[in-house]
Amino acid sequence: MTKRVKQLREGSLSGRPSVSAERAELLTRFYRENLGKHSMPVLRALAFHHLCEHKTICVVPGELIVGERGPEPKATPTYPELTCHSLEDLRVLNVREKTSYAVSDEVIRAYENEIIPYWQGRSLREQIFAVLPAEWHKAYEAGIFTEFMEQRAPGHTVADGKIYRKGMIEFREDISAATSVLDDLNDPRAFHRREQLKAMDIAAQAVVLFAERHAKLAREMACEESDPQRRSELERIAEVCSRVPAHAPRDFWEALQMYWFCHLAVITELNGWDSFCPGHLDHHLEPFYQQGLVDGAMTREQAKELLECFFIKFNNHPAPPKVGVTAAESGTYTDFANINIGGADTKRIGCSLRRLLSPAGSDRRVAHPPA
């Protein structure tokens, strides 16, 4: 473990998780101004674009892979459109004995004055509860069961390999091609398909904008950096963020950053149920790893350090806290992220990159990539 990785790891492990109201505030203001003006897919895509444009970004000292879910490491956003925390929920989270979240007075005020008043009766949880039968409510209130979907969107999703072969510009070209063949006269769902495709296009633009903001910040930081090595790293980070996710990655560093921006996009737009996963990371990264070794652009140790920086990013993300009884009792801290290692593909069984991910050389699935 390099000195850089040790410092990033220690910072990630020692930092206390906190609740950030920034996403909830941005989303509340957006919905207050735009609800009812667009179809639901387009509304959600525009809301996501608004978040990517305005949410606080940071580049942590020493890090090589950039981007955080909240305004800083260990700060988790909330999702009032799914379920809105009560003031009591926030107080419980702040003082519970195990896996507590720091909740500032500013967060309490934001919820009391702006977030709760707007989302009361509008959250997905409340809309669903309103149409469930009385028998269901009686059983729920009696504690016969609980249901975590009230605090999560559908999740446990695994990314495939498309994002390593195409950038968002190419995806937008695919969207444009699909839109051009819609048959408004003969397809009764053409309008709905068009709105969905329009939303996908907006979302693709939003992820690129988010990356460009990081590129700009890294360049500004490089101009003010006195240490030559870190200045060079910041310039490289800016170059990487200018490349991906707009375009397909060309090397190992860009491939890792490409996935990370897509990961952040998914969990920023909506709170997946604990798990958005890289999937067969060794299969996806193997070509970039081998090419870097062949052309001399990267050593094995440099690849290892990049991977370790990548894994630490997962640990920087506390799971958004739950509400009600689960806010008081649930100990979940970090969202799950499963990495599949080894196995067969169309060309070979396993790969040499597995040795970096799994020193013992055995196939395994790792929950919570180790920080």
Maximum mean pLDDT: which of 89-103, 177-191, 334-348: 177-191
Confidence of residue 151 (pLDDT cuts 50, 70, 90): low
- Report the sign of the C-alpha dihedral through residues 323, 326, 330, 332, in that order: negative
Dig out the tokens for 61 from the structure: 């000292």
Other CB atoms within 10 A of residue 32 CB:
10
Other CB atoms within 10 A of residue 325 CB:
11
Task: Give CA–CA dist 302/333, Å, rounded.
Answer: 30
**66 closest CA partner among 319, 304, 254, 303:** 254
Which pLDDT does position 351 carry in this prediction?
Answer: 55
Q: What pTM, to 2 d.p., does this model score?
A: 0.91
Average pLDDT over residues 235-250: 98
Task: Give CA–CA dist 40/120, Å, rounded.
Answer: 19
Domain-wise residue ranges, the chain: 3-366
Task: Identify the DSSP state of 148.
Answer: G
Tens digit of pLDDT for each residue in 266-314? 999 988 766 788 989 999 999 999 999 999 999 999 999 999 999 999 9
- Which residues, including other chains, have CB under 8 Å from residue 141's CB and lie 6 or more apart? none
Which pLDDT does position 8 carry in this prediction?
Answer: 98
Which pLDDT does position 370 carry in this prediction?
Answer: 38
Q: Which stretch of 22-26, 38-42, 325-329 has the lowest confidence by average pLDDT?
A: 325-329
Exposed/middle/buried for residue 38 (C-beta within 10 Å: 0-12, 13-18, 19+): middle
Which pLDDT does position 369 carry in this prediction?
Answer: 40
Tens digit of pLDDT for each residue in 59-118? 999 999 999 999 999 999 999 999 999 999 999 999 988 789 999 999 999 999 999 999
Residue 153: phi, psi to the nearest 5?
Answer: -90, 165
Which pLDDT does position 365 carry in this prediction?
Answer: 40
Instruction: Please report how many Cα atoms fall inside a 13 Å half-sphere around the Cα of residue 320, on the Cβ side.
Output: 28
Q: Give the residue, 273 or 57, on which the prediction is more confident.
A: 57
Task: Give CA–CA dist 101/91, Å, rounded.
Answer: 9
Average pLDDT over residues 145-165: 77
Confidence of residue 368 (pLDDT cuts 50, 70, 90): very low
Task: Give CA–CA dist 338/158, Å, rounded.
Answer: 8
Average pLDDT over residues 4-31: 97
Topology classification of domain 3-366: Anaerobic Ribonucleotide-triphosphate Reductase Large Chain (3.20.70)
> Is 33 a residue whose pLDDT tops 80?
yes
Identify whether the C-beta of residue 8 lies closer than 8 Å to the C-beta of residue 309. yes
> Is 211 a residue whose pLDDT tops 90?
yes
> Is 262 a residue whose pLDDT tops 70?
yes
Average pLDDT over residues 335-343: 79
Task: Identify the DSSP state of 61.
Answer: T
Which pLDDT does position 350 carry in this prediction?
Answer: 47
Average pLDDT over residues 115-132: 93
**Collapsing DSSP states into helix, strand and coil, what is residue 273?**
coil
